[in-house]
Structure 1
Amino acid sequence: MRYDDTKKILVTGGAGFLGSHLCERLLADGHEVLCVDNFYTGTRRNIAHLLGNPRFEILRHDVTFPLYVEVDEIYNLACPASPVHYQFDPVQTTKTSVIGAINMLGLAKRLRIKVFQASTSEVYGDPEVHPQVEEYVGHVNPIGFRSCYDEGKRCAETLFFDYRRQHNLPIKVVRIFNTYGPRMHPNDGRVVSNLIMQALRGDEITLYGDGEQTRSFCYVSDLIEGFVRLMDSGPEVTGPINIGNPNEFTIRDLAHMVIELTDSRSRITHRPLPPDDPRQRRPDIGKAKALLDWEPTVQLREGLERTIAYFRTTL
C-alpha cells in the first residue's frame, strides 16, 4: 500500500519512440516507472538517459508471454508501428496486439487497476468519412498487407471494451494519428523519418503515388500530454479518443517543407502507391478538447525543426 501520490507505472514498449517519451514524462511527474520491452524495435539508446534514475527500472520481456508484477497503472504501447517493422513478421505483429492485450488486461484485472491501450488511426483504414470521428467504424481490408497491424489493433480495442463490460475493468483507449519527433527510428519507413533522412543525405526524395494523399502530423510531446490527460481522467472517460493534430497536409507539402528546412538539394521522385495506403487522414479532436481539455500546441514547422536537429545527430 502506498502512502503518497507516487505511482508505480508499467509502460510496455517503453524503449520505443513513444514509450521512451512517456517514461520520461512519468518520471518527471514524480512516478516510478517499470519499462518493459523486448527490443524488437525499441532501443536502449532511447532510454539511456533514464538509467541512472532510481525510480526507473527496465525489464526485457515480450508481452505475448504473461507478466507477473505489482504496479498501479499500465500503459500498453508494445507493438511495432511502422509498415517496415510490422510487415516483417506479420504473424508476430498480430500476436503482439492481441495476445499482448489479453496479458495486460489479465494483469490489470488481477490488480484491479487502470489499463491504457495505445490504439491507432489505422483502425479507420482508408476512410470514407473525413475527418475521422470516433464513431466511424472504418473501412479496413482484413486480408491485406497492412491487416496484421490494422486488425490486430481493432481486435485489441474489442478486448478492452469486452473486459470493461464483462469485468468492469477501468480502461482508457487512445487512437494515435501520425506522430513524429526525436527518437524516431531513422529507418522505420514512416514518412517523416524517410523524408528527413533522404533530404539530409542528399538522396532522392521518394513520394508514393502522386503525393496528394494527406496526413495530419502530431508532435510527440503533444501526444504524450494527451496520453497522461486521458489516463488521469474520470472513470466515465474510456475512449476511444482521437489524439492527433487536425491540421492536414499533403505528403508533397511535407516533402517541400523538409527540403526547405534541411537546405537540401534532393530531387523528388515518385513510386507506386503501396496497397491499402489511406488517401486521407485527419482526426476530429472534438472529444479530446471537450473531455480532456487537450489540443496540440506544436505546429508542423516547429516540430520538424526539432526533429531534423535530432536526425542530424544520428548521421
Structure 2
Amino acid sequence: MEKMIKDLVPELVCTDVASIVERQLPWEELDHKTILVTGANGFISYYMVLALLMRNDLMDSGIKVIGLVRSRENAEKKYGEILDREDLSLWVTDVCELTDCGRVDYIIHAASQASAWHFEHDPVGTINANLIGTQKVLELAVKYQAQVLMFSSLKTYGSFGDHPKESMKEEDVGYLDHTSYKNCYAIGKRAAETLCASYSKQYGIPVKIVRPSYIYGPTRRGDDRVWAQFMVNVLNNEDIVLKSSGAPYRSYCYVTDTVAAVFTVLLRGEVMQPYNISSKEGNITIRNLARAAVAAFPEKHLKLSFVNPEDEKEPEITAKVCEILDSEKLESLGWKAEVSIGEGMKRAIQIMAGGE
C-alpha cells in the first residue's frame, strides 16, 4: 500500500500542510487533473506539492503532480520517499529548456531565481527564467489549453521616488531602471506578466498572477534571506546582531498562508488580474522581525543587539522604507492569513530543528 503524506513528513510539516488542505475552496475542480509545478524544489512549491498529494490521501482526488526540477539529487533530498508515490513524478530540466511532458491541465509556474545572490552573480540566468522560462510554460499551455498560474513578485512595483506609498495596490506602477542588471529579476517579472497577457489575449489561455510579499517558513541553513539568517541564529543559540537600525518595513507572510492564497487565486481568481499576497498581521520592520525570532524561544535567553550604538534608537517608520502590499483584492476572494509572525517563526524554526 502506498504511504500517505502524514507518514512521510515530520508531524509539524504535516500539520502545516493540513492547514492548507482544510481551507474552504472548490478543490474538486482539481480532481483527476494533471498539474505541473515548475521550480518544485523551492520551499513554497514543496508545500504546494504536499498539499495536492494530501488531497489525494484524504479525498481520493486522483490528482497527478509533475514536479519540474533542475536537480534530481536535490529533489531526492527534499522529497525522499514521497518520490515513490505514483501520483508524483519528476521532470528534470531547466525551465528555459522545457519541452513536452505530456498532457497537463494546470501549470503553476514558480521557477525563478529569487535570491539577491543570483541577481548579482547570474543576472542572465535570472532574467531568462522569467522571460524564456515563462514563454516555454505558456507554449505548453497553448498546446494543451491548460490553465496557468504565474508567480510574479512585489519587486515589479519598483520605486515611487519622492512620492512613496504607504502600501501598494495591484494597479500601482513605480520606476525601475531597465538599463541596470540589478533589476534583472524585477524587470523580468514585469515582462513575464506582459507575456502572460499577450498569450492570454492571442491564444485564449486563462492565466492568473500572484505577487507574493516576503514569504518565510522552514528553509535550508544556507538561505541568504534576512529572515532565514535570523532563524539560523536562533537554531544556533546565537544572539541576533543587526548592522543597521532595521528600519525597512515589509509585508511578511508565512508559507502556508501563501500557498493557501495561491490555490485561492487559482480556483477563484480572475484571469489576468494580479493579486498581492500579504498579511496585515505580517507588516513588520526588520528590527521587529528579529525580535519576534528571539521572542519565539524565551527559554533560550537570546537578545537583539546592534553593531552601531546609534542604531539602538527606534527608527521612524516612513513611506520611504515601506514595502507593504495591500491584500484587499485577495481577501475579497475569501482568503485571510491565519499565522502570526510569532507563531510562524516558532513553527519554522521547530521544523528546521527537527530536520537536523
- Decide: shared fold, TM above 0.5: yes
TM-score by length of 2: 0.79
Once the two structures are TM-superposed, the CA of residue 238 in structure 1 deviates from its matched residue by: 2.9
Paired letter, 1:34? I
Indicate if the aligned counterparts of 1:120 and 1:175 stay in contact, CA closer than 8 A. Answer: yes
Note if 1:285 corresponds to 2:311: no
More helix by share: 2
Partner SS for 1:57: strand
Larger of the two Rg values belongs to structure: 2
Indicate if the aligned counterparts of 1:207 and 1:270 stay in contact, CA closer than 8 A. Answer: yes
Which of 202, 218, 224 is the aligned partner of 1:166? 202
Taking a change above 3 Å as real, the CA distance of residues 43 and 53 of structure 1, as seen in their structure-2 partners, is: closer
Partner SS for 1:78: coil
Match of 1:46 in 2: 78
Match of 2:93 in 1: 61
Please list the CA deviations of residues 238-273 of structure 1 after superposition, one character each: whole Å capped at 9, or x if unmatched: 3210012123111111111212224253553459xx
Note if 1:185 corresponds to 2:226: no
Tell me, in whole angstroms, the C-alpha distance in 1 between the residues paired with 2:303 and 2:224: 18
Indicate if the aligned counterparts of 1:8 and 1:33 stay in contact, CA closer than 8 A. Answer: yes
Tell me, in whole angstroms, the C-alpha distance in 2 between the residues paired with 1:310 and 1:144: 38
Match of 1:274 in 2: none
Note if 1:308 corresponds to 2:334: no
Match of 2:339 in 1: 298
Please list the CA deviations of residues 157-200 of structure 1 after superposition, one character each: whole Å capped at 9, or x if unmatched: 11111111222211010001111112x23222112111111233
Taking a change above 3 Å as real, the CA distance of residues 208 and 94 of structure 1, as seen in their structure-2 partners, is: farther
TM-score by length of 1: 0.88
Please list the CA deviations of residues 51-93 of structure 1 after superposition, one character each: whole Å capped at 9, or x if unmatched: 1321010121101113202211100000122213443311101
Indicate if the aligned counterparts of 1:10 and 1:33 stay in contact, CA closer than 8 A. Answer: yes
Paired letter, 2:212? I
Counterparts of 1:1-315 in structure 2, within 5 Å, are 5-30=31-56, 31-39=63-71, 43-69=75-101, 70-127=103-160, 128-144=164-180, 146-182=182-218, 184-203=219-238, 205-207=240-242, 209-233=244-268, 236-247=270-281, 248-262=283-297, 263-265=300-302, 267-270=304-307, 279-290=321-332, 292-314=333-355
Taking a change above 3 Å as real, the CA distance of residues 41 and 190 of structure 1, as seen in their structure-2 partners, is: farther
Paired letter, 1:84? W
Report % sequence identity.
Answer: 30
Superposition RMSD on alpha carbons, in Å?
A: 2.3
Tell me, in whole angstroms, the C-alpha distance in 1 between the residues paired with 2:322 and 2:76: 34
Unaligned runs of 5+ in 1: 272-277
Paired letter, 1:199? V
Unaligned runs of 5+ in 2: 1-29, 57-62, 309-319
State how many pairs are aligned: 303
Once the two structures are TM-superposed, the CA of residue 43 in structure 1 deviates from its matched residue by: 4.4
Tell me, in whole angstroms, the C-alpha distance in 1 between the residues paired with 2:248 and 2:96: 35
